[in-house]
Each structure stands twice: as C-alpha cells, then as structure tokens.
Amino acid sequence: MSTSHVLLGLLAAGNRHGYELKRAHDTRLPRAKPLAFGQVYATLGRLQRDGLVVTAGQEREAGPDRTAYALTDQGRAALAGWLAAVEPPMPYVTSALFTKVAVALLVADLNAARSYLIAQARAHTDRLRELTAVKTAPSTTLDDVVAVDYAVAHLDADLRWLRTTLARVADWHREVHP
Amino acid sequence: MSRLQARDVVRSYGPTPALRGVSLDVADGEIVAVTGPSGCGKSTLLHCLAGILRPDEGAVRWNGERIDTWPEAARSRLRRTEFGVLFQFGQLVPELTAAENVALPLLLAGTGRREAGRAAGEWLDRFGVGHLADVRPGAMSGGQQQRCATARALVTGPRVIFADEPTGALDTLSGEEVLTQLVQLAREQGTTIVLVTHEPRIAAYADREVMLRDGVVDPTGLGLDETLVPLPAAGPGTDPR
Ligand SMILES: Nc1ncnc2c1ncn2[C@@H]1O[C@H](COP(=O)(O)OP(=O)(O)OP(=O)(O)O)[C@@H](O)[C@H]1O
Ligand SMILES: [Mg+2]
C-alpha cells in the first residue's frame, strides 16, 4: 500500500497540515495500521523533493506540524496516473501461509504441517468472527463496513484454501519426499 | 443454566439416520451457528430444537421442561409465542400481502387487528420493506420476501429464533443486510438465535459454531476426518457451556 498516494489523495481535497493528514488517513482507512507522525513527515519530505507537493504558508513558529502542504500539478498528475492504473492481479503467489506449509513439509513432518494448518484455520475463524461483529455493532460506520468486508472476503478465501490444503497435504508430502 | 438444551438426540427418517446422539446447550441471548456439510443433520437438529420434529431418543428442554414429549398443539403454541422460525425461502402465505403475512402470527396469538397491523408496518419498515406492505409475495424479489419473512419471525417478540439457511437464496449483499439486521435486533432485545448455515462467512455472525458431521457433533470443529487430525486444542464443538 502506498502511503504517498494516500497523502496525495488527501491533499487533493485542499491544503493540510501534517497532523491533519494523519487524522484524515486514520479516519478514511479505519482498519489500516495507524500512520505514525514520523512516517507522515518523512513521506511529505520525499513528495516535496520530487515536486509533487509544496509547502503552502507557514504559521509563525515554523515546525513541521505548523506547515501546510499543497498538491502541485505534477502531484495531481501522479495521483491520477496511480488511480487509473489497474493493479496486477496477484502476479506472484506469495503468502506467509503458503510458504509456511511448503517449508514445514521440507524440514518437518506431515503432522507439523497439519498442526500448523489447523491452528491457522482456527485463528482465521476467530478473526473472521471478530471482524464480522464490527459489522453488526450499532455504531459502525460505512468506512468500517467497507474495510471489514475486504478483510472478511480474504479471510474467507484463506479458510477455503487452508481446508483444501489440509485435504491435499498428505499427497503433497509424498511428492516432496518420494 | 442454559435455556435451550438438546441431550443425546437421535432421529432417523425410516432407515436413514439423521442425528446419532447430538447434545447442545444454548444460553439466553446467545447466537449459535450450526454448520457442516450437506446432509449432516443440521435441519433435523433445528427442527428437533424448535419442536417441529420429535426425536426418536434423547430430550429437548426449554426452560428446563421436556418439550419433545409435549403434544403437537402445545409445541405449535410455543412456535407462535416464544419461538420464531425462519426458513431459506421465506415461506410467506402467497394469498396475503406483506403486512397481512407479518400481522398473522399476532392475530393468531389474539392481538387485535389494529394493533397487529400497526406492529406489522413497523417491522416491515425496520427491514426496509415498508413500501411493500400491500404487495403479495408473488410480486416481490427473493430478498424482499426474505425481509418480510424475517419481520414475521420477529413480530411476536420471540425468545429464540430458529433460522435455517435464512440467506441461502439471497445474493451476498442482500444476505448480509438481512443477517446484520437480524443480529442487531437480536442483540438489542437479548433474543437467542440458532442459525443453520454451511458457509463460514455466515457462521461468523454467531458467537460460536457447532459443526455436525454425519449426525454427530464434529470434535475437530473444522469438518475434518478425526483420524487424520492431531487435536491441538478443544474445538468449538466441545464447548461445555
Ligand atoms: N424427510 C426426509 N425423509 C427421508 N430422509 C430425510 C428427510 N429429511 C432429511 N433426510 C435425511 O437425513 C439426513 C440429514 O438431513 P438434514 O436435512 O438434516 O441435513 P442438512 O445438514 O440440513 O443438509 P443440507 O445442508 O443439505 O440442508 C440426510 O441423510 C437426509 O437425506
Ligand atoms: Mg438443511
């Protein structure tokens, strides 16, 4: 996920200070890892160096949190380009889940791989329930629902994969250790 | 003490065993999902719990009373008052409008016509189908019918809702909307839900999941062959609550 593009997007709505950007980020992407202030300023610094944002007016006691930033034309173009670009749909199959089962079969036995798959399926099921509860909580916002929907769909897909792989892992083990 | 309880319930259809000794305890206000592959006995268990079917062996208790030995008239009264039942295809009465369908359980319970009509309108509104009050089921989409059926299941203020694949006939978004409303209302009013589903995503709306496999509770809780599975921890199905 590209923090710089999110910041460019937030600045498209008008000039903002660093702390406002952090707050807006955490509101619009409620289930993301909250942005650290340091990361906001480091990213703004890079965007400024690349000419995508400029500082726009400073209050007297200048410090990073007193500086407002504005999007440049170049920044606007970069944002539009990013928004229009289709993300490559899973160009590489990389997942900690998949990798762990593969390595477990290499270095440990079949039972270790199975135990891992079962423990992971249980953890996924618990998390699925936890996130689903967010959707039915009375105070839920649409920001939350949309974020949670994304996670639910992916956990659900992972769970299907975990179950299918449990059914295949014995055959897979025989193939790895003929 | 749990309010709803199944103890060693056995039920067959002729020579076909559907339940081979199932025990389940459901606490007040709890939402329990009953899951498992097709034919594992989910619907049979739900029907036994709701007093629709009588087990061949074992006991079903509600408030400590053996309801499985009650005569049909008493069990059917229970289903009009303290229990609400919701099936995959709403099962609305085709000759009646949405409002009449929702008012029906109240009228059967002796509520006056005016009051029943007012309550029906209110429940249809809560499920976003108030504008269909005068429409018959035949002229509604599946999702609209299911919303009406859900309103009908809730209108009498039941203590327990028994729902068998209530979103099975709906697309993902409609299903989630109906279920979210059902769960929100249940939590608000402390209603218990027994929810039958084969989808993990739907089961996740429950507080816990009990998985059946070939007519018994699956101790792995994952629908796996036990002989293949090392059991690292107690599965949800063995929750002793
Ligand atoms: N009316 C019936 N007559 C004969 N056999 C039945 C009847 N109803 C169910 N069965 C059998 O009992 C077993 C359990 O059926 P049940 O309907 O409880 O399963 P289920 O878990 O609800 O399945 P599904 O997910 O397909 O709805 C199955 O083997 C089924 O074929
Ligand atoms: Mg069924």
SS percent in chain B: helix, strand, coil, step 5: 40, 25, 40
Q: Are B194 and B24 in contact (CB under 8 A)?
A: no
Interface A:B, Cβ pairs < 8 A? 50
Name the closest-CA residue to atom 26, ligand 1. Answer: B38
Q: What's the CA gap between B14 and B187, in Å, rounded?
A: 39
Q: CB of B198 closer than 6 A to ligand 1?
A: yes
Average pLDDT, integer, range A93-122: 88
Output the pLDDT for position B195. 97
Say which amino acid occupies B148.
C
Q: CB of B145 closer than 6 A to ligand 1?
A: no
Instruction: Give the chain B residue whose CA is nearest to the CA of A117.
Output: B229
Mean pLDDT of chain A: 90
Ligand closest to CA B40 = 1
Largest distance between two CA atoms of chain B: 61
Q: Tell me the pLDDT band of A91, cut-offs 50, 70 and 90.
A: confident
Output the pLDDT for position A90. 87
Mutate to test the pocket of ligand 1, among B9, B22, B44 (most ligand atoms within 8 A of CB): B44
Structure tokens, A80: 């539009």
Average pLDDT, integer, range A137-157: 92
Q: What's the CA gap between B209 and B239, in Å, rounded?
A: 10
Q: Are B17 and B57 in contact (CB under 8 A)?
A: no
Set of chain A residues whose Cβ sits within 8 Å of the Cβ of B187: 136
Q: Is the ipTM of this complex over 0.90?
A: no
Residue spans of alpha helices (H) in chain A: 3-12, 18-28, 37-49, 73-84, 96-107, 110-136, 142-176
Output the pLDDT for position B1. 52
Output the pLDDT for position B230. 52
- Shortest Cα distance, chain B CAs vs residue A25, angstroms: 27
Query: Distance of alpha carbon A42 from its chain centroid, rounded?
Result: 19
Q: What's the CA gap between A94 and B206, in Å, rounded?
A: 31
Within 13 Å and on the Cβ side, how many CA atoms surround B75?
Answer: 18
Q: What's the CA gap between B16 and B128, in Å, rounded?
A: 42
Distance B42 CA to ligand 2 centre (A): 6
Output the pLDDT for position A138. 85
Cβ contacts of B90 within 8 Å, gap of 6 or more? B137, B145, B146, B148, B149, B150, B152
Structure tokens, B2: 């749990």
Q: Are B81 and B88 in contact (CB under 8 A)?
A: no
pLDDT at position A22 over 80: yes
Distance B215 CA to ligand 1 centre (A): 10
Q: What's the CA gap between A82 and B160, in Å, rounded?
A: 51
Output the pLDDT for position A60. 55
Output the pLDDT for position A66. 78
Q: What's the CA gap between B72 and B78, in Å, rounded?
A: 10
Q: Are B36 and B212 in contact (CB under 8 A)?
A: yes
**Look-up of token digits 């993300």:** A87
Per-residue pLDDT of chain B (241 residues; tens, 9 = 90+): 569 999 999 999 999 999 999 999 999 999 999 999 899 999 999 999 999 999 999 999 999 999 999 999 999 999 988 999 998 876 899 999 999 999 999 998 889 999 999 999 999 999 899 999 999 999 999 889 999 999 999 999 999 999 999 988 788 888 888 899 899 989 998 999 999 998 899 999 999 999 999 999 988 777 666 555 554 444 444 444 4
The count of other CB atoms within 10 Å of the CB of residue B205 is 24
Output the pLDDT for position B95. 96
> In whole angstroms, how large is the CA radius of gyration of chain A?
22
The pTM score is: 0.84
The count of other CB atoms within 10 Å of the CB of residue A61 is 7
Which residues lie across from A69 on neighbouring strands?
A: A16, A55
Q: CB of B44 closer than 6 A to ligand 1?
A: yes
CB contact under 8 Å between B180 and A136, yes or no, is: yes
**Look-up of token digits 């999702």:** B143
Which residues lie across from A40 on neighbouring strands?
A: none
Say which amino acid occupies A90.
M
Question: Which atom of ligand 1 is least distant from the CA of B14?
Answer: 4
Mutate to test the pocket of ligand 1, among B10, B13, B202 (most ligand atoms within 8 A of CB): B13
Residue spans of alpha helices (H) in B138-241: 142-154, 172-189, 200-203
Q: Where is B132: in which H helix or E strand?
A: none
- The vertex-B179 CA angle with B176 and B185, nearest 5°, equals 140
Is A174 in the B-facing interface, judged by CB distances under 8 Å? no
CB contact under 8 Å between B232 and A136, yes or no, is: no
Proportion of chain A above pLDDT 90, given as a percent: 55
